[in-house]
Structure 1
């Protein structure tokens, strides 16, 4: 089910203190973006924020869990996006605090991704440098064939 324009407008108003929130359709739902980072998901008019060890306890204390979906092989997959408690819609200040924590998670994830890419590039550069520095081994020459003495 597509996310209604009314729900997106409601969330944009709730989160406006963070800055301009954008929505991008995805798989029947929508991604919630701020500063080019996807801090949340919307599916079936339910909001989910990005979670890691920094903020997971907040959601677990509210008995909220991750967004789950059925995979093609029949198993259930889960994302690192947890359902936002409905009570937060009545307290925009607290909702914004939870959204800020989700942004911190996304910024940390982006920094880690960039650091991994930099390390991989450095390893590749070092391997290329090492390969160029190692002289190529000459192929072994064939031994001259010995003709039997007559």
Structure 2
């Protein structure tokens, strides 16, 4: 996904900064990470408070097999609800939720 498409997708939230990170892109709003794009897949920032809503919307959490112990590691990022990709209002709703999760995490 190119930077213009990412910016367009998050337009309902406001301006975003897009930075390269670990083979993908980090998407920031007001200095807070709200999403990542890895291997062409966009994933929203989540936290324990937002996770149940993301799960209910059919989103999947990003996990990988850790090299240290061979166990599955869960990352705080979730796939975007399918319906939000084509609906700017719904995407703005989820982007705001991800921004709030980013604020709660205290990390930028």
Give the corresponding residue for 1:25.
20
Question: Which among 25, 31, 46 is matched to residue 51 of structure 1?
Answer: 46
Aligned residues: CA RMSD = 1.7
Matched residues, number: 106
State how far apart, in whole Å, the 1-side matches of 2:89 and 2:59 are: 19
The normalised TM-score by structure 1 is: 0.63
Q: Report how far residue 12 of structure 1 moved.
A: 0.5
Deviation digits for residues 35-68 of structure 1 (CA, Å, limit 9, x no counterpart)? 1110111112211111123321222113322111
- Which ranges in structure 2 are unaligned for 5 or more consecutive residues? none
State how far apart, in whole Å, the 2-side matches of 1:59 and 1:19 are: 21
Give the corresponding residue for 1:76.
72
Structure having the higher strand fraction is 2
Question: Which among 24, 32, 39 is matched to residue 37 of structure 1?
Answer: 32
With a CA cutoff of 8 Å and minimum separation of 6, indicate the structure with the bigger relative contact order: 2
Which stretches of structure 1, 4 residues or more, deviate above 4 A after TM superposition?
none
Structure number, greater radius of gyration: 1
The normalised TM-score by structure 2 is: 0.85
